[in-house]
Structure 1
């Protein structure tokens, strides 16, 4: 669980270089930042953390250490349909990753953020496994 908190703290400290027009640009910026931050001095993970950009359906935008940690980015999170889509993605990602982190960037609607957090907290524990963490980090603007 400690490593999850290292990743979460790193994402909290991440500042995108600018307001990007595409989600893939945020993904590239965050992946580079995590690659540098998590491997600084090889001290955080005890060995080098592998950070890769995922490609394909059913996969998060960024994976760390294979399928241990999946990071899904959402740019301009503002509608009910986006909340529903993320919930569907989470259910799919639970089969692929030990831990899932949703990162909101661009513009975030606070009502939709609250709705997402409420829906995630309502997931039944047996569905997500005994140790799986699902975390939402808001890096968006209002």
Structure 2
């Protein structure tokens, strides 16, 4: 299944966490349920879309059809957190063919968000010059 990156991105933008969670894991489970429901139900859905929560150091938090990686980060407030996220995303772009969506939850520093967006620019082109999809969604709740 290819070409669903924009649909997944829209569903993430429409997501409103059901509450404020103390941990990133709570947000991850909430978003997983939202995507599972909204990508598979209704007249304009994708049908039998595979939405999985991943486990492992080299995988995104949620994966759609093995092609789109979704990485959640809670409380992006320091340079160290931005740097760690950049390293992760760089690896993830090699893994997921359609691209990666970064979802920021909790307390996100505006300055760190801008630092992240600026630093992500060079990562959107692969070694062969093909563009990779990479977007950031800052969720306010």
TM-score (normalised: structure 2): 0.90
Indicate how the Cα distance of structure 1 residues 94 and 129 shifts in structure 2: closer, same or farther if over 3 A, else same. Answer: farther
Q: State the alpha-carbon separation in 2 of the partners of residues 48 and 42 from structure 1.
A: 13
Match of 1:27 in 2: 28
**Secondary structure at the residue paired with 2:112?**
helix
Match of 2:117 in 1: 117
TM-score (normalised: structure 1): 0.90
Q: State the alpha-carbon separation in 1 of the partners of residues 14 and 124 from structure 2.
A: 30
Q: State the alpha-carbon separation in 2 of the partners of residues 18 and 3 from structure 1.
A: 28
Which consecutive segments of 4 or more residues in structure 1 shift more than 3 A? 126-129
Q: State the alpha-carbon separation in 1 of the partners of residues 130 and 94 from structure 2.
A: 13
Alignment size in residue pairs: 139
User: 1:64 aligned to 2:64?
Assistant: yes
Q: State the alpha-carbon separation in 1 of the partners of residues 18 and 31 from structure 2.
A: 10
Answer yes or no: is the 8 Å Cα contact 1:42–1:48 preserved in 2.
no
Over aligned residue pairs, what C-alpha RMSD do you find? Answer: 1.8
User: 1:134 aligned to 2:119?
Assistant: no
Q: State the alpha-carbon separation in 1 of the partners of residues 100 and 129 from structure 2.
A: 12
Indicate how the Cα distance of structure 1 residues 91 and 15 shifts in structure 2: closer, same or farther if over 3 A, else same. Answer: same
**Secondary structure at the residue paired with 2:111?**
helix
* Structure 1 position 128, deviation (Å): 7.9
Consecutive unaligned residues in structure 1, runs of 5 or more: none
Answer yes or no: is the 8 Å Cα contact 2:73–2:105 preserved in 1.
yes
Answer yes or no: is the 8 Å Cα contact 1:94–1:128 preserved in 2.
no
User: 1:103 aligned to 2:93?
Assistant: no
**Secondary structure at the residue paired with 1:70?**
strand
- The CA deviation string for residues 73-113 of structure 1, in whole angstroms up to 9 with x for no partner, is 00011000011001100111122112100000011100000
Q: State the alpha-carbon separation in 2 of the partners of residues 137 and 128 from structure 1.
A: 27
Q: State the alpha-carbon separation in 2 of the partners of residues 128 and 90 from structure 1.
A: 18
Consecutive unaligned residues in structure 2, runs of 5 or more: none
